[in-house]
Chains A and B, each alone.
Chain A
Amino acid sequence: DTTVKQNPRYKLARVGKPVNLICSQTMNHDTMYWYQKKPNQAPKLLLFYYDKILNREADTFEKFQSSRPNNSFCSLYIGSAGLEYSAMYLCASSSNWRAETLYFGSGTRLTVL
């Protein structure tokens, strides 16, 4: 079963409040990713976990945190949401960091008001 699940599907948040998005996969994949997608823009890699090692992109380093308490689960945390965080957040996994194919979840649409 090639399934990546994301919760919730839609999320409303207030400016300045924290946001926590959740992703899980049942494929025992080593690597999990978080992408941010805004309209008419390319999906942007925010960070990825290879096993327990977190890699964050330099330009979003301070804006997003993540945790991976076990192989199946990965969260994306925003400490203080701003209007610019409104976007679709896509979680993906791959069997390892050298794997060619990403398996995506259906995304969480975050709206910050």
Chain B
Amino acid sequence: GDSVTQTEGLVTLTEGLPVMLNCTYQTIYSNPFLFWYVHYLNESPRLLLKSSTDNKRTEHQGFHATLHKSSSSFHLQKSSAQLSDSALYYCALSPTSSSFSKLVFGQGTSLSVVP
């Protein structure tokens, strides 16, 4: 079945260093949609990035990701981590555009940015 695998557990970074959170997926469908959701403490999870276009970089709020169908990846990156980036990050997959109600989430990666 469809699945999403993320960098496991807790990632701790020093402020100013680059961020890379890995996300790979499995699906039999050739045109999946990939998403990154971010969940800050005491807030609601919200959409950060989304893409369905192969090899096209998508950016929002300093973060960027590129869907690579050849490697089934959608890694989240940022050039310089900020303290305010500390949060739980979820990668999610929608196998087809016919229904986004069946989003498949990864287990989440907790990012902690320290001074």
Contact = CB atoms under 8 A, between A and B. Distances in A.
Interface of A: 4, 31, 33, 40-43, 45, 48, 50, 55, 90, 94, 97-107
Contact of B45 (A31, A50, A98, A104): A104
Contacts of A48: 101
Contact of A42 (B45, B97, B106): B106
B83 to A, nearest CB: 21
Contacts of B71: none
A104 B100 contact: no
17 contacts: A4-B44, A40-B108, A42-B90, A42-B105, A42-B106, A45-B102, A45-B103, A48-B101, A94-B100, A97-B100, A98-B97, A100-B100, A102-B37, A104-B44, A105-B44, A106-B42, A107-B44
Contacts of A98: 97-100
A55 B101 contact: yes
Nearest to A100: B100
Contacts of A94: 100-101
B4 A42 contact: yes
